[in-house]
């Protein structure tokens, strides 16, 4: 799918300090139709430099599937609800995939999604 395609799908990676809080955020994003699906992967270790020091933290990784047209509102909502001062929000393009699944992502992120969309 091309970047100018209104039905383009994106995968968004966000780390979170706690798996339960990440699940709550995931539920909020899906409820608001900003994401069709969010996988929460607990037990991720992040090593990074922050404020001049090397840090190592246990985190949960959120793998968010959404439509391109929802990226702006999704980023805004994550920034508002996320506990980090500078949350990771990495947006990855997709290349191919199951047409039926991609159509489902688009339908589920539409303002008035279809409940009968394939899962």
Cα–Cα distance for residue pair 27/39, rounded to 1 Å: 10
Name the nearest CA neighbour of 100 among 3, 4, 7: 7
Convert the pLDDT of each residue in 91-109 to its tens digit: 999 988 888 999 999 999 9
Residue written as token pair 């929460």: 40
Is position 85 within any domain?
Answer: yes
Cα–Cα distance for residue pair 33/83, rounded to 1 Å: 21
Is position 4 within any domain?
Answer: no
Q: Which pair of structure tokens corresponds to residue 11?
A: 């995968």
- Give me the CATH number covering residue 21: 3.30.70.120
Q: The whole model's pTM is what? A: 0.87
Find the domain containing 99 and state its range.
9-108
Q: In what order do the strands lie in the sheet with 53-67?
A: 37-50, 53-67, 9-16, 90-93
Convert the pLDDT of each residue in 16-50 to its tens digit: 999 999 999 999 999 999 999 999 999 999 999 99
Is position 98 within any domain?
Answer: yes
């Amino acid at each position: 799918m091309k970047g100018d395609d209104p039905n383009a799908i994106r995968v968004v990676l966000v780390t979170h300090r706690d798996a339960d809080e990440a699940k709550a955020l995931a539920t909020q994003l899906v409820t608001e139709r900003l994401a069709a699906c969010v996988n929460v992967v607990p037990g991720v270790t992040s090593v990074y430099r922050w404020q001049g020091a090397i840090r190592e933290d246990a985190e949960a990784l959120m793998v968010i599937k959404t439509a391109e047209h929802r990226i702006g509102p999704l980023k805004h909502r994550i920034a508002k609800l996320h506990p980090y001062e500078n949350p990771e929000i990495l947006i990855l393009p997709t290349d191919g995939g199951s047409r039926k699944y991609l159509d489902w992502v688009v339908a589920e992120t539409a303002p008035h999604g279809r409940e009968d969309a394939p899962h």
